[in-house]
Chains A and B, each alone.
Chain A
């Protein structure tokens, strides 16, 4: 008696042929993606040069255009973590209050991670760009953490009223607020916010929060949306332990 002599074998043959075709197409697709990314990077860099910001940016671990006032930790850290966020986005608030703060305490302060805060104000949020401007100005007078905390923790209040200035003022002394207001009015740091947005568009960031982890060996790991500290911690430990 013959019991389906070729069905399993033939299925495997068909599958192997399909897989071969799929795999053969992969390298071409990969190189094309790289070329596109390179072209996008070049045109963006040209645009950035035209913008000519008055504040200098730095490069760390292969990551360019970093505003030192919005970056924390050792420049020799084995992992660079870029967080693109919008002050009016609820998931960004959750990420900041429950994950990023713990990463600051346990990885940034111990020199294992270099953390970069990137502004990516989304057009659908009416006050996020204003909040980004005040946060950036505050960062340049050394009050980044205080103002970011105030903006995220009181997000529900100021997004209803639009009172970004009052929220920032409550976190600073009158003298500090005066300095911040002067910097915001002078629009000195607007090119830096634009640069962050351009960097995000290259990634491409299409939603917030968006985290990109970079290793010394050049690997990049994009993480979209909220991620809990415990799960991120396991991943960071593995990245830090990598040779």
Chain B
């Protein structure tokens, strides 16, 4: 299985200067000088795995291999080697390659990538990427073990990027509903956290988001981005009958049609037309 990743004299590419590039569609990409025929994919695998080669060339080799995965039958001869190479890249010295490999493996729900990422979240000294990225990769297969880690990180982390990713994972976790609702309603939370909370609550409990949005739109002390998020949720997914029967909402939307920023006016007009407010 590994014979394709072991370099031989026959498959090893000639050393190239770091700046060597080809022009494709007006932009430069590193030239890999791949051989014609069946050996091209093995050659790309060799470049990808060569830690002495440049990062741009290795990234380019990865792109070629990724594109080739769509070939299905033709890629089968190197599919197992490609997976093995990606798993090896999880520990590559270069973060870009680690990230790309973890992304591809996670999208394929690879067990090795998942266990490595979880281990890193529990024991940061073993982490191959930061906790935000790790949660993002784990979100492709957010099972109970991942969700409990996400809840802890949302509570404890001071990094809003990590907390946003935790919210994404929590969006499939019914046990997190209360935490998400609290974050959404908390005006001290950053707008980005509250907007992600809205998306997470929408995924978990659409009616709860509609209930919140109805209140947020009437709250004149709310941040405009939050009101716009609430209005967008109501406009797209709300119940027209309920909205048209809500006198306070109709009045508020009427005010927005004439006062406020251009985007709020447009939203209010759109809601009026769509839901006959």
- Whether both chains belong to one complex is answered with no
Q: Which residues of A are in contact with B by a Cβ distance under 8 Å?
A: none
